[in-house]
Amino acid sequence: MSSEHPLITTDPARRGGRPCVRGLRISVGDVLGWLAAGMTHSEILADDPELTEADIRACLAYAAEREPREVRIGAAA
């Protein structure tokens, strides 16, 4: 569990070590994929009642924190 994102957990035995919501089998990537597909927070919460609004926000915060760490390689001249 991360102190920076207490709702996001990782466990090598669960979902291949992917970051998940509160130890559930729902990964951060699942939530981000649903949002990217156009699902609203309300739709996600209705489909997965074990999730909370705070869980969705935690997934977004986790992804936002990770994004600046990406390495951008420019095209060869």
CA-to-CA distance for 58 and 15, rounded, in angstroms?
18
In a domain, 77, yes or no: no
In a domain, 74, yes or no: no
Is 4 a residue whose pLDDT tops 90?
no
In a domain, 53, yes or no: yes
Which pLDDT does position 66 carry in this prediction?
86
Listing DSSP states for 64-77 in one string gives HHHGGGPPP-PPP-
Q: Which candidate, 64, 65, 66, 41, places its Cα nearest to that of 54? A: 41
In a domain, 61, yes or no: yes
Task: Please tell me the pTM assigned to this model.
Answer: 0.81
Number of Cβ within 10 Å of residue 8's Cβ equals 22
In a domain, 72, yes or no: no
In a domain, 76, yes or no: no
Is 50 a residue whose pLDDT tops 80?
yes
The region that residue 14 occupies, defined by phi over 0 for left and psi between -120 and 50 for alpha, beta otherwise, is beta
In a domain, 24, yes or no: yes
Give the number of domains in the chain.
1
**Token pair in block for residue 18:** 């992917």
CATH number at residue 13: 1.10.10.10
In a domain, 73, yes or no: no
